[in-house]
Amino acid sequence: LTLWYTSGDSTRRDLAQAIRAMLEPLGIKMDLQSGSWETVERNMHSNPTLFGWGSLDPMELYHHYSSKAAGVEYYNPGYYSNKTVDAHLQQALDAPTWQKAVPFWQQVEWDGKTGAGVKGDAAWAWLLNVQHTYLTNPCIDLGKPAPEIHGSWSVLNNLQDWKWTCK
């Protein structure tokens, strides 16, 4: 079993090493392999792969779990397919408001019988949330921080709330 991650990313390398160490006492031998994204792409459909994802948009659930997204770019690289999950995804997309869509998005994870989440098929292993550190001028009050999502400008999401506190 080989776990792939992108080279040059110390966070993913360290995480891969931690995963290997946790699996060893269970009798699971995990080889680690890094490469460029092009190399990872060639291997991600047949091997576990470390990705960095994160979004405040529930469409990320669609991209991870929809059989229609299987193998499209980096979406659903394990070709996960569950007809009930697909139905919940479609119900969420068809809902007239985001409020009416929320229960269907939740049912994607677990609907009491099946789902893509850990109670169901466990189609994706969410490992951690990276906490970002920012160095700022002590005179700047950044206000209440926004949720940190992968690949975003989260620190700037509440720019309108920043205050200069020094006179």
**Residue from 153, 167, 73, 88 nearest 121 by CA:** 88
Considering only residues 157 and 69, tell me which one the structure prediction assigns the higher pLDDT.
69
Q: What is the pLDDT of residues 47-69, one digit of tens each?
A: 999 998 888 889 999 999 999 99
CA distance 162 to 136: 12
Both structure tokens of 33:
């392999």
Contact (Cβ atoms closer than 8 angstroms) between residue 89 and residue 81: no
Q: What is the pLDDT of residues 124-151, one digit of tens each?
A: 988 887 777 888 999 999 998 777 777 7
pLDDT at position 77 is 95
DSSP 56: S
pLDDT at position 15 is 95
